[in-house]
Amino acid sequence: MMEPLFDKVAVIGLGLIGSSMVRGMKKRDLAATVTGFDGSAEVRARADVLQFCDVIAETAEDAVTGAQLVILAVPVGAMAAAAQSIAPYLADGAIVTDVGSVKAAVVRNVASALPEHASFVPGHPVAGTEYSGPEAGFAELFAGRWCVITPCERSTDASVEKVVALWTALGSTVETMTPEHHDIVLAITSHIPHLIAYNIVGTAADLEDVTQSEVIKFSAGGFRDFTRIAASDPVMWRDVFLNNKDAVLEVLGRFSEDLAALQRMIRWDDGKSLEDHFSRTRAIRRGVIDAGQDTADPDFGRYHGDSD
Ligand code: NAP
């Protein structure tokens, strides 16, 4: 059997992503011991019952003492507080990484809170579901998905190598880019789509001439897929928009212009332009399927995985 990559790993935040990482690491024997900690006593108790960690620590100090790798898996807005809570207890040479959906703000807030003897490798697994909490996690969440690593001034080559090895062992393909580039790419591929979903579901709820039961009854017309995305965790997504403000506003400006162009095509009965536009977007969908990021099954064919 292969040697584990790490002796002791500490995971701070035992929600969907943190608990999936623990499950994935344990299933593949990537760490001899995984200690989990969550700021919420209730989440700690639930994680204890689920038994996916070797140890559930009662404090951040107990969790990170002696750990070679510490994973911050808390909402983006809580990263600074989580980093401060572990900083005094980090072992010499400890590697800290995170899984936040925004990178430039996390680099700013976390790097400055960590002691010189620790390195920091910012990361973002581009994998998730609309569920949250320790019950929602599963070992295969990251298999066949991308993970973006955005090295910063506090990342040593050796620490980047270790974190890349971890994600690769969890089944992900790793791509490296700057935090700023990550934020603009994710603004268009993830953040704006979520904002559109939150908006359209809100609009439907507020329409006076259409009843709620009609919205639900006829949701298979397209609305249903937006409701799935709009069910995503409110705290996580509040933090994403507040911390990726510049990139989101920049892409939203472009989006609004393009929406106005579509509006004009409809107003002026410009069927040719509408059809051309929809043909172009259909080709993008084919590209997503060809790249293995979704299946061609109807209803998006999404695999939500089993808890294990
Ligand atoms: P989650 O299921 O809500 O879990 C986060 C957990 O962290 C909660 O139990 C929370 O407790 C705890 N927490 C908050 N502040 C803390 C602190 N200072 N110290 C210790 N624990 C703390 O969230 P998640 O979906 O796993 O997301 C975690 C991170 O992954 C976020 O940064 C998110 O941007 C990123 N991410 C999410 C997805 C996704 O699809 N969900 C995908 C990729 C990356 P309380 O609830 O009591 O605050």
One domain for residues 171 and 204: no
What are the pLDDT digits (tens) for 218-227? Answer: 888 889 989 9
pLDDT for residue 221: 84
d(CA 225, CA 230): 9
One domain for residues 151 and 107: yes
CATH number at residue 201: 1.10.3660.10
pLDDT at 182 over 50: yes
pLDDT, average across residues 257-271: 98
d(CA 23, CA 29): 10
User: In this structure, are residues 130 and 197 in contact, taking their beta carbons and an 8 Å threshold?
Assistant: no
Percent over 90 (pLDDT), the chain: 84
One domain for residues 123 and 219: no
| 43-52, 193-202, 215-224: least confidently modelled range | 215-224
One domain for residues 162 and 213: no
User: 1 pLDDT band (50/70/90 cuts)?
Assistant: low
d(CA 13, CA 39): 7
User: 297 pLDDT band (50/70/90 cuts)?
Assistant: confident
**Residue 137 Cβ contacting ligand 1 at under 6 Å:** no
pLDDT at 305 over 50: no
- 161 domain-assigned: yes
Q: What is the number of domains present in the chain?
A: 2
How far, in Å, is the centroid of ligand 1 from the Cα of 76?
8
**Residue 39 Cβ contacting ligand 1 at under 6 Å:** yes
Question: Which of 11, 12, 14, 16 most suits a substitution to test ligand 1, by most atoms within 8 Å of the C-beta?
Answer: 16
One domain for residues 37 and 167: yes
One domain for residues 21 and 144: yes
Domain boundary among 143, 177, 211: 177
- 100 domain-assigned: yes
One domain for residues 83 and 205: no
- Protein residue with its CA nearest to atom 41 in ligand 1: 128
| 115-119, 221-225, 231-235, 271-275: least confidently modelled range | 221-225
**Residue 78 Cβ contacting ligand 1 at under 6 Å:** yes
pLDDT for residue 219: 86
- 265 domain-assigned: yes
Higher pLDDT pick, 285 / 167: 167
One domain for residues 155 and 209: no
Q: Which domain holds residue 242?
A: 181-290
What are the pLDDT digits (tens) for 4-43? Answer: 999 999 999 999 999 999 999 999 999 999 999 999 999 9
**Residue 231 Cβ contacting ligand 1 at under 6 Å:** no
One domain for residues 27 and 141: yes
Q: What is the DSSP string of 157-175?
A: HHHHHHHHHHHHHTT-EEE
- 301 domain-assigned: no
Statement: the pTM of the whole predicted model exceeds 0.95: no
pLDDT for residue 227: 92
pLDDT for residue 46: 98
One domain for residues 105 and 212: no
**Residue 30 Cβ contacting ligand 1 at under 6 Å:** no
What are the pLDDT digits (tens) for 120-175? Answer: 999 999 999 989 999 999 999 999 999 999 999 999 999 999 999 999 999 999 99
d(CA 44, CA 165): 28
How far, in Å, is the centroid of ligand 1 from the Cα of 236?
7
One domain for residues 225 and 108: no
**Residue 43 Cβ contacting ligand 1 at under 6 Å:** yes
pLDDT, average across residues 247-276: 97
d(CA 307, CA 289): 25
- 297 domain-assigned: no
pLDDT, average across residues 254-278: 97
- 304 domain-assigned: no
d(CA 256, CA 48): 47
CATH number at residue 168: 3.40.50.720
pLDDT at 302 over 70: no
Q: Which atom of ligand 1 is nearest to the CA of 125?
A: 43
User: In this structure, are residues 138 and 306 in contact, taking their beta carbons and an 8 Å threshold?
Assistant: yes
Domain boundary among 177, 202, 230: 177
- 157 domain-assigned: yes
- 193 domain-assigned: yes
pLDDT, average across residues 272-291: 93
Domain boundary among 122, 152, 177: 177
One domain for residues 90 and 232: no
- Six-digit token pair at 113? 């809170």
**Residue 99 Cβ contacting ligand 1 at under 6 Å:** yes
